[in-house]
Amino acid sequence: MTAQPAGPTTPAPVSTTGSAAGERSGRERVERAAYELFTRRGVRGVGVDTVISEANVAKMTLYRNFGSKDDLVLAFLCRREELWTRGWLCAEARRRGGTPARQLLAIFEMFDEWFRAPDFEGCVFLTTMLEHPDRDSPDLGQVRDAGLANRTDRKASCRERV
């Protein structure tokens, strides 16, 4: 995998190969690989063996750090919130808009740019909920909670800007 430019789809370089990969912990390599793969292909479209291969770790490394694929998915959503929502969206809105009202407008402009991007992948919180095979699973409740927390953060951020 090669590092991607920062932006709405891939907010931070996610290279998991080469000498840099050896310098990161196994957990970090798994999280970075899962982030890239789940973002591009969806959660159901990626098996743990693919994550393990891309992260260049042993299977035990994944399961020692994440008890299940569902645990890895929850870590992915937390990372998405951190990198994409806070690290890119909020920071970029503050950079583009000098006033709260302009920051709010900047968010809509950024969404427009994101929606039009050729590599637009949609909202990972929604697609993860839609892809989950067991509607009664407690894990789906955690995914739903993560998505709702993301939405609540966006609403609170908008209220602060007006």
Question: Within a domain: residue 32?
Answer: yes
pLDDT at 75: 93
Residues in the chain, overall count: 162
**pLDDT at residue 2, as a whole number:** 36
Segment 69-108, tens digit of pLDDT: 989 999 999 899 889 888 899 899 999 999 999 999 999 9
pTM of the model: 0.70
pLDDT of residue 127: 84
Over the range 4-14, which residues count as b (16 or more CB within 10 Å of their CB) and which as e? beebbbbbbeb
CATH number, residue 92: 1.10.357.10
The pLDDT tens digits of the residues spanning 8-47 come to 544 444 443 444 544 589 999 999 999 999 999 999 999 9
Higher pLDDT, 139 or 13: 139
Rg (CA), the chain: 17
Taking alpha carbons only, the member of 53, 107, 59 closest to residue 84 is 107
- Give the number of other CB atoms < 10 A from CB of residue 79: 19
Number of domains the chain is built from: 1
How many CA atoms lie within 13 Å of 160's alpha carbon, on the beta-carbon side?
10
Q: 5 in a domain, yes or no?
A: no
